[in-house]
Structure formats: structure tokens, C-alpha cells
């Protein structure tokens, strides 16, 4: 059971209530909605990171899954399995995320993204060596996007783990990307 209450719709501002009335609302969203003045901007950032980046979505999902493993966030891990699979992360790669360094199923770019993710999560900054190697594969925009992705999902893991946000009943079964599709009028 979560350590703080989820925002009750009757207490939501009109802008937050509009979001909470969407067909797919996750417990993490219901929890972060408690910070009503920040929630709309944070939601827009989350959506942008899932829909508007130039970094390959598959690489985004590798970074999110690795961050979830490092942080021990079962919620984050479980919710990102369906989009990771949709973006082409294989079952073998999912199984190997925890020990990616010894796994043969990742290509050179995957390994760089995973190493970069580890370094940023563990040391705040990546090594110059890893950054220089990544620059041979990704644009400056994609590298900054990757840094924002790692930071955002690290922050999300902190919220999930500190507040013990309950796993959604549909976790791992529903692709959270489906909740980001524009609604028909």
C-alpha cells in the first residue's frame, strides 16, 4: 500500500482532473498528481520523452530498463516491458539487462548506451571515454535526450520506491504507449 494517498479526483484542479479522466492513468501519475502545480509540466515532459525524441525509442527503453534495474524499481521495470518489446528489445536482452556486460546479445551501440546509463546513474556523470565513444554514434541532441531520459526515470524510480507506489493491476500487460495516443473528440 502506498505511503501517501493518491490524489482524489475531487481534490484535483481542473487541469489535473482533465488528465486524471484519461482512459489510462497509472498509479505513478495519480501519485505525482499530488504536486498539482508541477504535475502538468512533468506529464508533458514524460510524454515528450516517450513520443518526441530523436533518439531511437529502443535505446530509450534500454536506458529505462537499466535504470529500473539499478534502482530496484519493480514498478518502472514492469511498466516498461511492453513498450520495450514493442520497440524491438528482445526477450534475451530483457533477461540480460542486469548483467549486460557479459551478455553477447547487445550490439556495440546498445553496450555504449548501457555503459553510459550505468555511469550516469552511479557517478552522476559519464566518463569522457564513454561520452566520446557515444558521440561517434549519436548526435548531440540524442546524447542530451539520453541524459534527460536517465535523469527522468531515475527521479521516477525515487518517487515509486520512496512512496511505495502500488503496481497497477494491468502492469506489464498494457502498453503504456497506448495511453499517449491522441484521444478522438
76, three cell numbers:
518502472
Count of alpha carbons within 13 angstroms of residue 42, beta-carbon side:
19
Is position 38 within any domain? Answer: yes
Domain that holds residue 46: 9-50+174-179
Q: What is the pLDDT of residue 80?
A: 94
170, three cell numbers:
494491468
Q: Read off the CATH number of the domain in which 60 is found.
A: 1.20.1290.10
Is position 99 within any domain? Answer: yes
Same domain flag for 68 and 44: no
Q: What is the C-alpha to C-alpha distance for residues 51 and 114, in angstroms, rounded to an integer?
A: 21
Q: What is the pLDDT of residue 183?
A: 38
Residues recorded for the chain: 185
Same domain flag for 82 and 13: no
**Residue indicated by cell numbers 495511453:** 179
Q: What is the pLDDT of residue 179?
A: 61
Q: Would you tell me the crossing angle of helices 57-71 and 140-162 to the nearest 10 degrees?
A: 40
Same domain flag for 128 and 68: yes
52, three cell numbers:
518526441
Write out the chain's pLDDT in tens, 185 residues: 999 999 999 999 999 999 999 988 999 999 999 999 999 999 999 999 999 999 999 999 999 999 999 999 999 999 999 999 999 999 999 999 999 999 999 999 999 999 999 999 999 999 999 999 999 999 999 999 999 999 999 999 999 999 999 999 887 777 777 765 543 33
How many structural domains is the chain composed of? 2
Same domain flag for 71 and 137: yes
- Tell me if 93 sits within 8 A of 184, measured CB to CB: no
Q: Would you tell me the crossing angle of helices 108-123 and 57-71 to the nearest 10 degrees?
A: 40
47: Cβ–Cβ under 8 A, 6 or more apart, which residues? 180
- Tell me if 106 sits within 8 A of 96, measured CB to CB: yes
Is position 3 within any domain? Answer: no
Same domain flag for 44 and 93: no
| Residue from 49, 54, 108 nearest 83 by CA | 49
Q: What is the C-alpha to C-alpha distance for residues 120 and 32, in angstroms, rounded to an integer?
A: 24
Same domain flag for 41 and 66: no
Is position 168 within any domain? Answer: no
Q: Give residue 130's Cα distance to chain centre.
A: 22
Is position 106 within any domain? Answer: yes
Q: What is the pLDDT of residue 185?
A: 31
Is position 22 within any domain? Answer: yes
Is position 73 within any domain? Answer: yes
Is position 100 within any domain? Answer: yes
- Tell me if 77 sits within 8 A of 69, measured CB to CB: yes
Backbone angles phi, psi at 93, to 5 degrees: -70, -40
Same domain flag for 75 and 124: yes
Same domain flag for 43 and 103: no
Same domain flag for 29 and 81: no
Same domain flag for 127 and 140: yes
Amino acid at each position: 500500500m502506498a505511503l501517501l494517498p493518491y490524489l482524489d479526483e475531487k481534490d484535483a484542479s481542473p487541469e489535473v482532473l482533465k488528465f486524471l479522466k484519461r482512459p489510462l492513468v497509472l498509479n505513478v501519475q495519480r501519485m505525482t498528481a499530488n504536486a498539482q502545480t508541477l504535475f502538468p509540466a512533468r506529464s508533458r515532459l514524460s510524454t515528450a520523452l516517450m513520443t518526441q525524441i530523436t533518439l531511437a525509442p529502443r535505446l530509450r527503453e534500454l536506458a529505462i530498463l537499466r535504470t529500473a534495474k539499478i534502482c530496484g524499481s519493480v514498478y518502472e521495470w514492469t511498466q516498461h516491458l511492453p513498450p520495450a518489446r514493442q520497440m524491438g528489445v528482445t526477450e534475451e536482452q530483457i533477461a540480460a539487462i542486469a548483467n549486460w556486460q557479459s551478455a553477447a546479445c547487445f550490439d556495440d551501440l546498445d553496450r555504449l548506451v548501457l555503459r553510459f546509463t550505468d555511469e550516469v546513474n552511479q557517478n552522476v556523470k559519464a566518463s569522457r571515454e564513454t561520452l566520446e565513444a557515444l558521440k561517434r554514434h549519436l548526435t548531440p541532441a540524442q546524447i542530451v535526450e539520453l541524459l534527460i531520459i536517465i535523469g527522468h526515470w531515475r527521479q521516477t524510480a525515487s518517487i515509486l520506491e520512496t512512496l511505495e507506489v502500488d503496481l497497477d493491476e494491468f502492469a506489464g500487460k498494457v502498453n503504456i504507449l497506448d495511453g499517449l495516443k491522441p484521444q478522438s473528440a
